[in-house]
């Protein structure tokens, strides 16, 4: 089964931009970056040529002898069967972290040969750039962040009729129960596979849960190998410890990241570099607390209080050894971790919609906590996340009493409705929040 990825639309918009820069594509491992670049090239260009600096190490010599784009094009043409023609050929520089000179060449293509279409990507690009102290041509490239498959993309592939219905919503009102039932079913299936394309395809092609589990475990094993390949030797055990502590961190009622959960006596200064490594690798999101919901939110960030979520809810589930049957059972009781899974899935839907910014969260003297706080246009919006249909709790009400925001958002598995600034939204529709806000009075 083919999954239609939204990033292809981003590539198409870039292709038609008059003041175009080469693209630097970033994102976690195994999310389909190479597939997306190839698909775009095959669908939107007459020719598509791929230069893989990992598989073709001899390519490095091309960039080590010249910085002139026209000379580079002539030499690169010797390594491909299709022609390189401006406007007709997409050039893909894959695993570009293996050749710093190729990364630097992007600025010369921008300045001297902008007529060529180039997309570059690499495994753990952010990590490699920092480790090798490579220079990124800031201002000369368009950075596009790619993410795991979102539930929106998942639903479009798994149940197109329901997807089309959601796309057609023109007011905030109760959805037909048949639509709600389908959304709940597909959302639970999504939490089993997560957004790693290979796992999603295994699930949607009905290859069985065993195949999904094997796929996810293989990706986790690959991540472990990445620790050894790309991290400094002294950081490897710390990165490993943080990564494997995620289920325990998120199983707490208060999901604030606690260093002693990693190991007794652990201190923040010993683990900050390891946390940043996982962030740079795209494997985790850090959601920081804010002292008050002011604008901009970054001005009120409290750097010593944060929560850590996985980049993908399927990987988190597998990392926690949580059986798929538990996730798909609506009455299964796995308490705090059920809430953590719900929050992680919602976060995955929000980040791609927020200009790649990670939300914040808010607490009040330890008595109330709002899971996420985002800035939408000129509004600061608090977001509450509930795992199922139980919406008890006073955190959102306390926030409302204190700050009286124009909009509040609550995700659960209840039906869609609007009431005096509160958007009660089914969690599967987190990827449609822009639509929901636009339909508010």
A 10 A CB-CB count for 291 gives 12
Query: 154-160: which pairs have CB atoms within 8 A and are 24 or more residues apart?
Result: 154/3, 154/186, 154/190, 154/193, 154/195, 154/200, 155/183, 155/186, 155/190, 155/428, 156/3, 156/4, 157/1, 157/2, 157/3, 157/4, 157/200, 157/204, 158/186, 158/189, 158/204, 159/186
Burial of 95 (0-12, 13-18, 19+ CB in 10 A): buried
CA atoms lying within 13 Å on the CB side of residue 426: 25
Q: Which of 352, 344, 350 is nearest to 314 (CA)?
A: 344
Q: Please tell me the total number of residues recorded for the chain in this structure.
A: 441
Domains and CATH numbers, the chain: 7-145 (3.40.50.300), 151-438 (no CATH)
- Measured CA to CA in angstroms, residue 2 lies from 26, 35, 143, 415, 417 at distances of 22, 11, 26, 30, 33
User: Using an 8 Å Cβ cutoff, are 374 and 174 in contact?
Assistant: no
- d(Cα 92, Cα 90) in Å, to the nearest integer? 6
- The tens-digit pLDDT sequence of the chain (441 residues) is 899 999 999 999 999 998 899 999 999 999 999 999 999 999 999 999 999 999 999 999 999 989 999 999 999 999 999 999 999 999 999 999 999 999 999 999 999 999 999 999 988 888 888 777 777 888 999 999 999 999 999 999 999 999 999 999 999 999 999 999 999 999 999 999 999 999 999 999 999 999 999 999 999 999 999 998 889 999 999 999 999 999 999 998 889 999 999 999 888 999 999 999 999 999 999 999 999 999 999 999 999 999 999 999 999 999 999 999 999 987 777 777 899 999 999 999 999 999 878 999 999 877 889 999 999 999 999 999 998 888 888 899 999 999 999 999 999 999 999 999 999 999 999 999 999 999 998
- Supply the pTM of this predicted model: 0.94
User: Using an 8 Å Cβ cutoff, are 360 and 297 in contact?
Assistant: yes
A 10 A CB-CB count for 170 gives 7
A 10 A CB-CB count for 68 gives 13
């Amino acid at each position: 089964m083919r999954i239609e990825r939204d990033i292809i639309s981003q590539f198409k918009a870039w292709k038609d931009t008059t003041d175009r820069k080469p693209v630097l594509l970033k994102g976690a491992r195994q999310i389909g970056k190479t597939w997306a670049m190839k698909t775009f090239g095959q669908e939107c260009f007459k020719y598509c040529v791929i230069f893989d600096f990992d598989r073709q190490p001899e390519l490095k010599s091309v960039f080590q002898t010249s910085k002139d784009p026209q000379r580079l094009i002539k030499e690169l043409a010797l390594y491909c069967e299709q022609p390189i023609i401006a406007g007709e050929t997409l050039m893909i520089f894959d695993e570009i972290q293996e050749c710093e000179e190729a990364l630097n060449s992007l600025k010369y293509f921008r300045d001297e040969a902008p007529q060529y279409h180039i997309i570059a990507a690499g495994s753990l690009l952010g990590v490699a750039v920092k480790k090798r102290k490579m220079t990124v041509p800031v201002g000369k490239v368009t950075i596009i962040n790619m993410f795991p498959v979102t539930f929106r993309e998942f639903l479009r592939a798994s149940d197109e009729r329901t997807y089309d219905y959601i796309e057609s919503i023109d007011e905030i009102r109760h959805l037909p129960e048949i639509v709600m039932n389908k959304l709940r079913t597909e959302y639970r299936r999504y939490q089993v596979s997560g957004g790693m394309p290979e796992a999603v395809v295994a699930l949607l092609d009905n290859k069985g849960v065993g195949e999904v589990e094997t796929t996810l475990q293989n990706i986790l094993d690959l991540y472990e190998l990445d620790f050894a390949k790309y991290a400094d030797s002294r950081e490897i055990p710390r990165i490993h410890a943080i990564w494997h502590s995620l289920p325990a961190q998120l199983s707490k009622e208060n999901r604030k990241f606690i260093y002693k959960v990693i190991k007794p006596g652990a201190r923040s200064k010993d683990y900050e570099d390891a946390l940043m490594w996982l962030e740079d690798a795209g494997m985790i999101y850090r959601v920081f607390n804010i002292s008050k919901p002011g604008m901009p939110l970054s001005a009120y960030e409290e750097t010593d209080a944060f929560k850590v979520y996985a980049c993908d809810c399927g990987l988190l589930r597998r990392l926690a050894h949580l059986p798929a049957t538990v996730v798909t059972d609506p009455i299964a009781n796995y308490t705090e971790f059920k809430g953590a899974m719900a929050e992680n899935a919602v976060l995955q839907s929000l980040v791609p919609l927020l200009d790649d910014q990670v939300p914040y969260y808010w607490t009040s003297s330890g008595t109330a906590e709002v899971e996420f706080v985002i800035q939408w246009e000129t509004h600061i919006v608090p977001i509450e996340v509930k795992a199922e249909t139980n919406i008890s709790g006073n955190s959102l009400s306390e926030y409302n009493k204190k700050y009286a925001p124009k909009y509040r958002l609550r995700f659960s598995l209840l039906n869609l409705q609007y009431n005096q600034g509160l958007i009660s939204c089914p969690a599967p529709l987190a990827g449609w929040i822009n639509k929901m806000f636009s339909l508010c009075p």
